[in-house]
Amino acid sequence: MKNIFEQQLNEPVDVFVKEKQKYWLHIILFLATFFTTTVAGYEWVRGFSNKTEFSELIYGLPYSLSILFVLGSHEFGHYFAAKIHKVKATLPFFIPFPSILGFLNFGTLGAVIKIKSPIPSKKALFDIGVAGPIAGFIASVILIIYGFTHLPGKEYLLWIHPDYDLPTYGKNGLALVFGDSLLFSFLREVFTSSKDFVPPMSEIYHYPYLCVGWFGFFVTAMNLIPVGQLDGGHVIYALFGEKKQYAISSVAMIFLIVFGVLGILITYLSLPLNIGWSGWLFWAVILFFVIKVKHPPIYDDALLDRKRRIIGYLTIAIFVVCFIPAPFLIF
C-alpha cells in the first residue's frame, strides 16, 4: 500500500465528484492487469510463444483469477480499514506488467491505494497498515492449501515437459527455482502425502495455485519489512513508537543490503550459498530514496490496546515465516 499524507482542500461534494469521475481508471487498470496476468499465467504453464492462440489463454485463467484474488484481498483490506476509521482512500489501482521478449513475469507489479486524508491516530495507522497483509496472507494460505490438496498427477508435468523423466532433462538450460519459506514448506509437509506427486521448487511456477500462493507470501513479506511507510513500518511504528521504529528500520535495511550483496556475489562468483538475491539490493535502494527509512510522525501518544498488540506480534511472526532470503535462484 502506498500512503500519501495530503490534506484534501476541496469540499466533500467536489471530492465525491472527482473520485467518481476516476472510476474508469480503476476499471481500465483492473482489466489490463487481468489480461497481462492471464498471459503471464499461460506462459508460466505452457512457456512463451509468439504463436499463442487466443483460445489457449484459458490455461492462464486459474493463475490470473488467483493473483487478482490475493492482490484484491490485500488492497481492499487496507481500503475497508480506512473506511472504518473515516480516512479517505481511493479504490485499488492494479498495475499491469506485460511480458517483454519472452521474459516470464507475474503479469503485474501489484496494486496500491492512495490515502487522501491524514491518519488521525496510531490505532487507525495500525488497523489500516495491518489489514492488508493479513487479508492477503489469508488469501495466499487458502490458495496454497487448495493447491497442495488438489495436486494433479505427474502426467500434468509431463504434458508440459514431455522429457521430464529423461536423464537429460534440464542439462542444457537454466533452471528457475523458487526459494522456500518456512510456512510454504510447513504447508507442503502437512497437506501432501507420500502418494502425491509433489513438484520440486524448480517446477512450482507451472502450478497456478501454488505459484500465486508463493507469490502472495513473497509480497506479504516484502510489504511487512519494517521500513518507512511500508505496511511493516506502520505496524512497528504503532507498536513501538518513533525511535524504536527508526532503529528497527535501520537494522532491516542493513539485512536487505547484506542479502543483496550476497546475491550479487553468488551470481558472479558462483558461491555455494542460497541466502541472497540481488533484487534485495535494488529494493533497499527504492526504500531508502522513495519510501524512506523513517516513518513520518503521527501526533498521537496513545498506546495500542492489548488486542492490537497481540495482532501486531502475530503480524511480525507472519513476516518471519513468509520471508525468503533467496526468493529466486537460477542454475
Q: What's the rounded Cα separation, in Å, for the pair 107 and 105?
A: 6
227: in domain = yes
Q: What's the rounded Cα separation, in Å, for the pair 25 and 19?
A: 10
Q: Of 35-49, 206-220, 275-289, which gets the smallest average pLDDT?
A: 35-49
Q: Of 174-178, 181-185, 214-218, 318-322, which gets the smallest average pLDDT?
A: 174-178
- Percent of the chain residues past pLDDT 90, beyond the cut: 75
Tell me the per-residue pLDDT of 84-109, one tens digit each, with 9 for 90 and over: 999 999 999 999 999 876 566 899 99
Cell of 41: 499465467
Residue with cell 498427477: 153
Q: Residue 49's pLDDT band (boundaries 50, 70, 90)?
A: low
Domain that residue 221 falls in: 12-330
Q: Answer yes or no: are the C-beta atoms of 91 and 71 closer than 8 Å.
A: no
Residue with cell 521474459: 103
Stretch 238-263: mean pLDDT = 95
Stretch 236-263: mean pLDDT = 96
Cell of 261: 550483496
Q: What is the largest CA-CA distance in the chain?
A: 70
Name the pTM for this structure. Answer: 0.90
- Alpha carbon dihedral 264, 265, 268, 273, in 10-degree steps, equals -110
5: in domain = no
Q: What's the rounded Cα separation, in Å, for the pair 175 and 173?
A: 7
Q: What's the rounded Cα separation, in Å, for the pair 304 and 265?
A: 43
Q: Which residues contact residue 14 at a Cβ distance below 8 angstroms, ignoring those fewer than 6 apart?
A: none
What is the structure's pLDDT at 48? 66
Structural domains of the chain, count: 1
Stretch 266-273: mean pLDDT = 75
DSSP, collapsed to helix, strand or coil, labels residue 328 as: strand
What is the structure's pLDDT at 101? 62
Q: Residue 110's pLDDT band (boundaries 50, 70, 90)?
A: very high
Stretch 43-67: mean pLDDT = 84
Q: Which residues contact residue 13 at a Cβ distance below 8 angstroms, ignoring those fewer than 6 apart?
A: none
Q: Of 80-84, 107-111, 253-257, 296-300, which gets the smallest average pLDDT?
A: 296-300
Instruction: Identify the CA nearest to 111 among candidates 72, 85, 160, 80.
Output: 72
Instruction: Identify the CA nearest to 133 among candidates 149, 107, 110, 109.
Output: 110
In a 10 Å sphere around its CB, with 0-12 CB exposed, 13-18 middle and 19+ buried, how is residue 191 labelled?
middle
In Å, how far from its chain's centre is CA 74? 9
Stretch 78-83: mean pLDDT = 97
Residue 324 is given by DSSP the state -
Residue 17 has pLDDT above 70, yes or no: no
1: in domain = no
Stretch 201-212: mean pLDDT = 96
Stretch 169-197: mean pLDDT = 91
What is the structure's pLDDT at 64? 98
11 or 59, greater pLDDT: 59
What is the structure's pLDDT at 146? 98
- Percent of the chain residues past pLDDT 70, beyond the cut: 90
6: in domain = no
Q: What's the rounded Cα separation, in Å, for the pair 179 and 202?
A: 9
CA distances from 123 to 74, 105, 317 (A): 19, 37, 20
161: in domain = yes
45: in domain = yes
Computed over every residue of the chain, the mean pLDDT equals: 89
φ/ψ region of 228 (left if φ > 0, alpha if ψ in -120 to 50, else beta) reads left
170: in domain = yes
Residue 1 has pLDDT above 70, yes or no: no
3-state helix, strand, coil in the chain (%, to 5): 60, 5, 35
What is the structure's pLDDT at 274? 79
Q: What's the rounded Cα separation, in Å, for the pair 119 and 146?
A: 37
Q: Residue 20's pLDDT band (boundaries 50, 70, 90)?
A: low
